Amino acid sequence: MPEKTAHYSRTTCPLACALDLIGDHWTLLIIRDLMFLGRHEYKDMLNAEEGISSNILSDRLKNLEEHGLIDSIPHPASGRRKLYYLLPKGKDLIHVLTHLAQWSDKHLHDLVEIPPEKRAMLIKQPDKLIETVLKDLKAWEKMFLTNSIERSN
Amino acid sequence: MPEKTAHYSRTTCPLACALDLIGDHWTLLIIRDLMFLGRHEYKDMLNAEEGISSNILSDRLKNLEEHGLIDSIPHPASGRRKLYYLLPKGKDLIHVLTHLAQWSDKHLHDLVEIPPEKRAMLIKQPDKLIETVLKDLKAWEKMFLTNSIERSN
């Protein structure tokens, strides 16, 4: 976010400053891909149904890395590919995303479809949903990040 | 949001569809103004420290009214001015905003300042904060909306 258009240059409001990082039409979808949909590669995010363009995707990934919400490692199968993953700062957005999905389910029900089993958990047991997602992310990290560290030694 | 760039035309994902409405650099700040800061008039929002431009503010207010997140009534002091207020669809974003403020307090602490009393409530008693804000909004509505209906009869 260039200085002149960034809110943080004019305000210390927590909401305004957060919007400098995640307040656009695409960034939270990248967080969603990494958090809920197991899309860890550039090509997987590029092929998501919303049709993000490659220049926007590259720009947003770079921005998220620079601000410490995500990081990347070389793909185990090919050093030319990357695996992106959420850092704690990115993972902590899970509460925001969960409440946004609940809001959407309530108020945009003519547009939104959520598989019944997931919807039941989102509405009735959001804490359990969050716990499950964080556990899955931990398992992914254990598999890929541990291997990556071993390889680099 | 024009059809061709809207996520909802290509996906039923609850997060993507929500971002069609609130996923930009400014919309949630208008919701913030109405929810937490008692800014109910166009000029108050225009003068907010982030420096929104008048054409963006007009566009976002129109969009929020069209999608049922806010509404407006003539100002009691002058029919040429308007008082904007949140409808239930807008008020229900309080959980998203509260969690976003918590995230910001945790991860953007070098940029963000929250008055100590408000911060204590945000971090330790978010449910109480939400309850207080909703009660204040109800009191505002009772004062202005009831009067407005009486006047129009």
Per cent of chain A over pLDDT 70 is: 93
Q: Which two tokens stand for residue A10?
A: 């004019």
Instruction: Return the pLDDT at B146.
Output: 80
Q: What is the pTM of this model?
A: 0.94
What residues of chain A lie within 8 A of the CB of B94, using their CB? none
The answer to whether the CB of A33 falls within 8 A of the CB of A60 is no
pLDDT tens readout for residues A82-126: 999 999 999 999 999 999 999 999 999 999 999 999 999 999 999
What's the structural domain count of chain A?
A: 1
Range of the domain at B146: 3-152
State whether the Cα torsion A16-A21-A24-A25 is positive or negative. Answer: negative
Its ipTM equals 0.93
In B11-40, the residues whose Cβ lies within 8 Å of chain A are 11-21, 23-26, 28-29, 32
What residues of chain A lie within 8 A of the CB of B89, using their CB? 107
A48 secondary structure, DSSP code: S
pLDDT tens readout for residues B6-17: 999 999 999 999
**Interface check B149 vs A, CB under 8 A:** no
Contact assignment for A15 to B50 by CB distance below 8 Å = no
**Interface check B74 vs A, CB under 8 A:** no
Contact assignment for A103 to B92 by CB distance below 8 Å = yes
Ordered DSSP codes for A25-92 = SSHHHHHHHHHHS---SHHHHHTSTT---HHHHHHHHHHHHHTTSEEEEEETTEEEEEEEEE-HHHHT
More confident residue, A146 or A119: A119
pLDDT tens readout for residues A42-67: 999 999 999 999 999 999 999 999 99
**Interface check A123 vs B, CB under 8 A:** no
Q: Which two tokens stand for residue B94?
A: 């309080």
CATH number of the domain where residue A90 is located = 1.10.10.10
Contact assignment for A95 to B111 by CB distance below 8 Å = no
Rounded-to-integer distance, Cα B71 and Cα A33, Å: 34
